Copies of this chain bind each other. A is one copy, B any other.
Amino acid sequence: MSPSHENTCRVRPGGEGIRLLPGNRFFYLNGFFSVIILLFILLPLLRMVTQPSLTDLLATIRDPEVLASLWLSIYTAGAAAFLSLLFGTPLAYLLARHEFIGKKLVESIIDLPIMIPHPVVGIALLSLAGRNHWLGKVMASLGVTIMGSVTGIIAVMTFVGLPFYINSAKAGFEGVPVRFERVARSLGAGPASAFFRVTVPLSWRHLLCGVILCAARAVSEFGAVVIVAYHPMIAPVLMFERFTAYGLKYSQPVAVWLILACLGLFLLMRLVARPMRRVP
């Protein structure tokens, strides 16, 4: 998503530095409000992470059901991110490079999945795949099912994660001056060659960021997935089940592991991305 994408990908404008001039009650007032907000975000998470005992945590991670759901979450989110990369990149590139009538509309369409209430997403995908729609019939005859299948989970996750990848990739492509591609073409490179030899190497950070954000959004989805596929269980669904069946105390360890899995995954990707030569 662009918020965190802005934090991670874009070079910030030159710092002004904290220069506290006299007469800055306003500054301290702002600081006070800011601390409240940060505590509001941090305290619940810290509390939740520190509440379960280590024994509980260890017992939970040995639970094959938990492990399976974590693995399924990661696997489907990865697939969704890959699909977004594959299908979203061309659209992001077109939007970054061309002006056309209806461009605003296309951009709004891309942002739709962000705005739509999550269960509605699930219901919408199921509506399409229903047997009384021609597409549903085609899919059924190919043996593809959405309801209660891994395919369905991936479809939902792709749906909700796409805007995050496309917007990040678009910002990345917009950051590469058209001039570079023009020079490449004047040197004999075709459009595809210019794209892969110049544009992609200069925007890979944004692309990677987009993939990470897309995967993050996909892994965190619950409302749409629970409609489309309660089983096989992804981790948030499992957590929800434990919460409703056994209460808060039994769902907390799963939540902790899910958070750790997400954080670990993103740290790993960050590290993989770091040592690449020549940061633009």
Contacts and interface: CB of A to CB of B under 8 A. Distances in A.
A269 interface: no
Total copies of this chain within the assembly: 2
Contact of A94 (B30, B88, B91, B126): B30
Interface string A95-114: 00111100010111111111
A32 to B, nearest CB: 8
Among A30, A44, A110, A240, max chain B CB count under 10 A is at A44
A34 B94 contact: yes
A127 B252 contact: yes
Contact of A120 (B109, B117, B236): B236
A126 B243 CA distance: 11
A275 interface: no
Interface stretch (A59-67, A137-145, A200-208, A220-228): A220-228
B191 A119 contact: no
Given A3-B167, A123-B255, A236 B108 contact: no
Interface residues of A, number: 107
Interface string A50-71: 0100000000000000000000
A149 to B, nearest CB: 16
Given A2-B5, A18-B100, A44 B114 contact: no
With most chain B CB atoms within 10 A of its CB, the pick from A24, A32, A192 is A192
Given A120-B255, A191-B27, A1 B114 contact: yes
Interface string A1-33: 111111100000101111000011111011111
Given A47-B128, A118-B220, 6 more contacts: A3-B166, A118-B236, A120-B258, A124-B255, A223-B223, A223-B240
19 contacts: A3-B114, A7-B104, A13-B174, A30-B94, A34-B90, A34-B94, A40-B158, A45-B124, A47-B133, A48-B120, A48-B123, A117-B258, A119-B240, A120-B255, A127-B248, A223-B236, A223-B240, A226-B240, A227-B240
